[in-house]
Amino acid sequence: CHILSGVSVIAEDGGQARTVKAGDSFVLRPGFRGSWEVLETTRKEYVIKL
């Protein structure tokens, strides 16, 4: 996932929260369980690999 604009907080269940903002890239692994809190309207690009 690549964040184009905005700010969000992603937290895996039982894990540490991570703030992501424009320019950040990351991978959510298969089976991810957690929350995605939008602090500012967030635009993103993402790929789903089957």
pTM: 0.85
pLDDT in tens, 17-50: 999 999 999 999 889 999 999 999 999 999 988 8
Round to whole Å and give the CA distance between 8 and 43. Answer: 10
Handedness of CA 32, 33, 39, 43 (dihedral sign): positive
Distances (CA, A) of 42 to 14, 31, 50: 24, 22, 25
Question: What integer pLDDT is reported at residue 41 of this predicted model?
Answer: 98
